[in-house]
Amino acid sequence: MWSIRWCRGALSAILVLALHAGALAQDGNGDAVRPALGRPLSAAQQLLKEQKFAEALDRLKEADAVGDKTGYESFVVEHMRGMAAAGVGDTATAATSFEAVLASGKLPPAERLPILQSMTAMFYKAKDYPKTVQWAKRYVQEGGTNAQIRAVLGQALYLSNDFAGAALELSAQVQAEEASGRKPTQEQLQLLASSYLRAKDDAGYATALEKLVTWYPSKESWADLVDRTQRKPGFSDKLALDGFRLQRATAGLHEAAEFMEMAQLSMEAGYPSEARAVLDDGYKAGTLGKGSDVARQNALRDKANQAAVADARLLAQQSAGTIKDSNGLATTGLALVFSGQADAGIAMMKEALSKGGLRQTEETRLRLGMACVMAGRKEEALATLKAVQGSNGASDLARLWALHARDTVQ
């Protein structure tokens, strides 16, 4: 959140501007202040220069006693009262006075935005967030471009519990930053994500998470994003292993159950080398190999090791151009990638796609893109992943792999 130091700076700006604005001079229409008002107003103006704001408010009470004020005289009194009230932190009085000043039509255009900016800062400092929103919106509507005011507007909407409004404002800010070639701040994106979450907008929250992992990737954000992607309506159970693959590459596996489930799925899919690597990670991390389930963990590890050795012998025979079926090419190609033969495996998967007749065309394309990421072939990976289609979750995983590729593949 923006600091009190910023609020003080915004408030002092209006005082400096107003004290040099010639508040007692004639306006452009020749209006002037009568002598009966001139004496207390001159004294109040001097007190404002000395930053004696409470004393200035007292002298302005003398000006209030003068009756039949002209429109210009009322404008001057309220202008000075607004400055003095701002100086003592009396937001209610300052707001009333500046409302009158703004409505008078006598304020020079150059002074309108500083007043709106300062009132925004005053109410934000006072933690009156609905009023902060009101003044910040006026500032923006009148053409104000101060990025701090826009940031305060998003925060105040959030703190006013207008989460949908905060999400709309913050999303616009993020889009403007990206369109200008600038990087949104992490605070903006975190507040945007929280706004969507509090508004119960799952799609918006997922979009915000994608922005976070794009600009400020973290294992926590990736874990949340992958989990939510897999829980989207229509996400196929057949992609469970692919979800684990993305999680392992971005957020990592942490629980023993995660290592075991992914390894088991890899074994069932015919990729024992992948299963062995997953289990090795679990043992190296100290997550596996202990506890009440250690016997089952060790048994699966032994099974994966034996299967990987046997699979390596089989792959040596199959990779010599003996496979004609597209589905076999796709499966064997991915197995080669997991066994450390990425170039041969990628070539085989490409051949499978070019031949056609695959039972899982989009899933194969997704896995080819993943294989290219693993092999460090960024441009191929991005082009392949971009082409993944379908509504079963494959295209969602492909988009996330592409985000990961942009950050990790050089």
Let me know: does 259 contact 288? Beta carbons within 8 Å.
Answer: yes
Please state, for a pLDDT cut of 70, what percent of the chain lies above it. Answer: 91
Model confidence at 30, pLDDT cuts 50, 70, 90, reads low
Whether residue 135 lies inside any domain: the answer is no
Domain match, 275 and 403 both: no
Domain encompassing residue 73 = 22-107
Whether residue 347 lies inside any domain: the answer is yes
The string of pLDDT tens digits covering residues 362-378 is 999 999 999 999 999 99
Domain final position from 271, 301, 318:
318
Domain final position from 50, 85, 107:
107
Query: What's this model's pTM, rounded to 2 decimal places?
Result: 0.83
Closest CA relative to residue 84, chosen from 93, 76, 72: 93
Domain match, 246 and 367 both: yes
Domain match, 336 and 406 both: yes
Please count the structural domains in the chain. Answer: 3
pLDDT recorded at residue 409: 52
Using alpha carbons only, give the angle 189, 195, 200 rounded to the nearest 5 degrees: 130
Model confidence at 29, pLDDT cuts 50, 70, 90, reads low
pLDDT recorded at residue 319: 63
Amino acid at 43: A
Domain match, 45 and 99 both: yes
